[in-house]
Structure 1
Amino acid sequence: MVNCVVKNWLGEDVGEATLELKVASEDNKSHIVHKALRKQLLAARQGNASSKTRSEVSGGGRKPWRQKGTGRARAGSIRSPLWRGGGVIFGPKPRDYDIKMNRKERRLALRTALQSRAENLIVVEEFGDKLPRPKTKELVQAITRWGANPERKVLLIVAETNENLLLSARNIAGLQLITPNNLSIYSVLDAAYIIATAAALAKIQEVYSD
């Protein structure tokens, strides 16, 4: 169980929140988190690199010169991999890099990663009404008051987004704004600070509790 202090818009302590999730065992947690992270990064690869083999390169149907008597090396096709403009030996072909990992494992890895970042977790009150208009400067100041550095990577988790919040957050270079349903293990591990609203934390508890 993780106990967190809840801060308001001004950065003042106004309450407490808890996060209790089932996590992997001490012996297994590094393995399962690494596997889930690797799966996400591999799944992001397009895998569309392709090169032509000698059978796919156009031309080369005729033998360049006769087999004997020229003094040159034997050659059967101008599309040999040994020739300039020829095919590629063992070159890349389109492939799927994704690795298999069942849903329960992925969720366990995400819970484990999230709980491991407890020291960098900041819980705040809902602040949607504090931004009546899009204002990046005000959001940056609030992030600073909450104890995070807006110049570093910040993961901001809110229960629901609105247009003013989206417009205020999009110009902050290191800020990633997501909802609990879009949590990813890479986002959790990559962020220097994780800021979650109390409602978002409750949603995480509800969605990922099993």
Structure 2
Amino acid sequence: MVNCVVRDWQGQEVGQASLDLKVAKEETAAHIVHRALVRQMANARQGTASTKTRAEVSGGGRKPWRQKGTGRARAGSNRSPLWRGGGVIFGPKPRDYSVKMNRKERRLALRTAFQSRSEDLIVVEEFADKLAQPKTKELMSAIARWGVGADSKVLLIVSERNETVYLSARNVANLKLISATNLNVFDLLAADKIVTTTTALAKIQEVYGE
């Protein structure tokens, strides 16, 4: 179990919150999280890279010059891979990069990754009502009051999408906003600091706490 301090909009401590997730054993934790990360990154690949072989490149039907007597090397086609404009040897073709991983393993890896970031976890009260209108400056000021450095990559987790919060956060390069039900291993590991609301933390506990 992990206990976290809860902060309000002004950055003051107002209570405690706990997180208790079933995580992988210490000796296998790094392996299963790594597998989940590789799977996520591989599944994000489009796999549409494609090159043409010498059979697919247009042209090349006529022998460039006669076989013997010119003093030059033999050539049967000007679309040989050795020629400029020719085909490509062993080039990429469209393929499926997806990697399979069982659902229970994926959820275990996600819980393990989240709880492993507990030292960088900041829990705050719901703040959507504090933003009367979309205001990036006010949101960034609040994040600074919560103890996040100006250059830190921040993952902001909310219970559900709020339009005002979304519009306030979308234009910040090092801030990513996601909902509690859309957690993923890559975002959890890539962030320097993870900020979550109390309701989002409760939803994470409810959805992923097995």
State the TM-score bracket (shorter-chain normalisation).
over 0.9
Tell whether 2:106 aligns with 1:90: no
1:41-99 residue CA offsets vs partner (Å, 9 max, x unmatched): 12222221111100001111222223233332222211111112111111111112221
Matches within 5 A, 1:34-113: 34-113=34-113
Which residue is equivalent to 1:123?
A: 123
Q: Hey, what's the Cα distance between the residues in 2 that align with 1:84 and 1:178?
A: 48
Query: Deviations along 1:124-163, whole A, 9 cap, x unmatched?
Result: 1111111111111111111111111243111110112222
State, as a whole percentage, how many aligned pairs show the same letter.
70
For the aligned residue pairs, the C-alpha RMSD in angstroms reads: 1.2
TM-score if structure 1 supplies the norm length? 0.95
Letter in 1 for 2:179: T
| Residue in structure 2 matched with residue 155 of structure 1 by the alignment | 155
Whole-angstrom CA distance in 1 between matches of 2:115 and 2:91 = 43
The amino acid that maps onto 1:128 is: A
Q: What secondary structure does 1:18 align onto?
A: strand
* Structure 2 length-normalised TM: 0.95
Report the count of equivalent residues.
210
Contact 1:39 1:99 in 2 (8 A): yes
Task: Specify every segment of 5 or more residues in structure 1 that has no aligned partner in the other structure, as ranges.
Answer: none
Query: Structure 2: which 5+ runs fail to align?
Result: none
1:200 aligned partner: 200
Shift of 1:121: 0.3
SS in 1 for 2:27: coil
The code of the aligned residue for 1:60 comes to G
Q: What one-letter code is carried by the residue in structure 2 that aligns with 1:5? A: V
Give the superposition deviation at 1:173. 2.1
Q: Distance in 1 between matches of 2:200 and 2:63?
A: 70
Of the structure 1 ranges 38-47 and 110-119, higher mean CA displacement relative to structure 2 is found in 38-47
**2:45 & 2:151 partners in 1: Cα distance?**
28
- 1 CA distance for matches of 2:137 and 2:151? 13
Q: Which runs of 4+ in 1 moved over 4 A?
A: none
Corresponding residue number in structure 2 for 1:26: 26
